[in-house]
A = this chain, B = another copy of it.
Amino acid sequence: MSKIFVDACFGKETPYTPVWMMRQAGRYLPEYMEVRAKAGNFLNLCHDPKKACEVTLQPVDIVGVDAAILFSDILVIPDEMGMELSFVKGEGPKFSDPIRNEADLERLIGGEEAASKLTYVYDTIKLIKEQLAEDKALIGFTGAPWTLATYMIEGEGTKTYNICKKMMYSNPELLHKILAKVTEVVKLYMEKQIQSGIDVVQIFDSWAAAIEPSKYDEFSWKYMVEIAEYLKEKYPHIPVIMFPKGIPAFLDKVYGNFDVFGVDWSTPMAYAKEKLGDRYVLQGNMEPCRLYSKESTTECVEALQKIMGGKRHIFNLGHGILPDVPVENAKHFINECHRVSGK
């Protein structure tokens, strides 16, 4: 059975424009909060294939999205590379022993050995595929090497990225070695996700905007492209979505063999279409805060439909859905995307 979401990723004509939402398996859903409470904490939930499968499927049933996205966290990769990941309440993720020099890098587990340790992710995927409706797609994902490296180097989330940036401008060789080691793991990790059954790959560069535009290719994009091209060569039937958040100034320079470009909300869709629309399918890009108002949601969905004309487009938010959005407003968004595109 053909999946409308996969067809849309390849730019094929579809009966309507599919839609999903970044962070759709998340805290705005009471059903998610229930499972998470049972799991004890966020990391337990990532490690528990049965529960992770359950929350992955929730938004498909509850809000009616056209694709599920694997429930996991981007930081399971550095965790399995030997960095001890913890989540401190109210402060976010922490690594107690960040990577600051060659010796730190040496002690990280790399390649196949690290990728093989992520069995709970592969098991989650297999469970999901048993239960997901055949016409819906399952999106697997990874963080981009740069985004992962920011946490590995800073040891936590950061506003200024000053430790990474000091390395970027004073010791770029070391930063490249870190990025290369992470890239190797990510390639194999995504390959194993594909072998476990995902239908689509998305690479999230959540902290793309931390790099000045003239350095973005060197420190992030080229590694994302390396991963995409490794996968496309071996698995051409699996679409790859690239989502570098917040770098409108880089759109002139985008290149590489992948299928869908995820447009964040700081980049006007008309601009993205002009720059990239003939080469890539575009995904996005409603400002997630518009979900606070049904009128604002409809206004934006109609504007996006007008710009894209239902062609080479996947509806989505331009960033993750926030926890305090009413579920009925999320449903309204999905329904409106379907309505304007003719479902």
**Which residue in B169, B213, B290, B318 is a CB contact (below 8 Å) of A169?**
B290
Please encode chain A, from 85 to 119, with 1 for each CB lying within 8 Å of some chain B CB and 0 for all others.
00000000000000000000000000000000000
* Of B162, B214, B265, B289, the contact of A322 (CB 8 Å cutoff): B162
In the complex, residue of chain B having the shortest beta-carbon distance to the beta carbon of A160: B322
Contact in complex: A166, B268 (CB < 8 Å): no
CA distance A266 to B214 in the complex (A): 9
A161 within 8 A of B: yes
Q: A277 to chain B: which residues have CB within 8 Å?
A: none
- Set of chain B residues within 8 Å of A162, measured between Cβ atoms: 289, 292, 322, 324
In the complex the two chains form, is B169's CB within 8 Å of A292's CB? Answer: yes
- CB A85 to nearest CB in B, in angstroms, measures 20
Task: Give the distance in Å from the alpha carbon of A213 to the alpha carbon of B263 in the complex.
Answer: 13
Taking CB atoms, residues of chain B closer than 8 Å to A214 are 268
Q: Are B166 and A287 in contact (CB under 8 A)?
A: no
Q: How far is the CA of A213 from the CA of B266 in the complex (A)?
A: 6
A246, A287, A318: most-surrounded residue (chain B CB, <10 A)? A287
- CB pair A267 B287 closer than 8 Å: no
Q: Which of chain A's residues 130-171 have a Cβ closer than 8 Å to chain B?
A: 160-162, 165-166, 168-170
Q: B249 contacts A213, CB within 8 Å?
A: no
Q: Does A296 contact B (CB under 8 A)?
A: yes
Question: Is residue A293 contacting chain B, with contact meaning CB distance below 8 A?
Answer: yes
Give A26 Cβ to nearest chain B Cβ, in Å.
13
Bound-complex Cα distance A212 to B166 (A):
30
Q: A249-B267, A249-B268, A268-B249 are in contact. Are A170 and B212 (CB under 8 A)?
A: no
Per the bound structure, the CA–CA distance linking A103 and B246 in Å amounts to 36
Kindly list chain B residues whose C-beta atoms are within 8 Å of the C-beta of A265. 212
Bound-state CA distance A268–B246 (Å) is: 14
Check: A235 CB closer than 8 A to any chain B CB. Answer: no
Q: Is A248 an interface residue (CB 8 A)?
A: yes
A209 interface hit (Cβ, 8 Å): yes
Say how far A40's CB is from chain B's closest CB, in angstroms. 25
Chain B residues with CB under 8 Å of A267's CB are: 213, 249
Contacts of A42 in B (CB 8 A): none
User: Considering the complex, which residues of chain A in the window 267-306 have a beta carbon less than 8 Å from any beta carbon of chain B?
Assistant: 267-268, 271, 287, 289-290, 292-293, 296
Q: Pick the contact of A289 from B165, B213, B249, B318 — CB < 8 Å?
A: B165
A150 nearest CB across to chain B (Å): 13
| The 3 nearest A-B residue pairs measured at CB | A165-B289, A169-B296, A169-B293
A–B pairs, 19, beta carbons within 8 Å: A160-B322, A162-B289, A162-B322, A162-B324, A165-B287, A165-B292, A166-B289, A166-B292, A169-B289, A169-B292, A169-B296, A170-B292, A209-B246, A212-B265, A212-B318, A214-B268, A246-B266, A248-B248, A249-B268
Task: Using CB atoms and an 8 Å cutoff, list the residues of chain A in contact with chain B.
Answer: 160-162, 165-166, 168-170, 209, 212-214, 246-249, 265-268, 271, 287, 289-290, 292-293, 296, 318, 322, 324
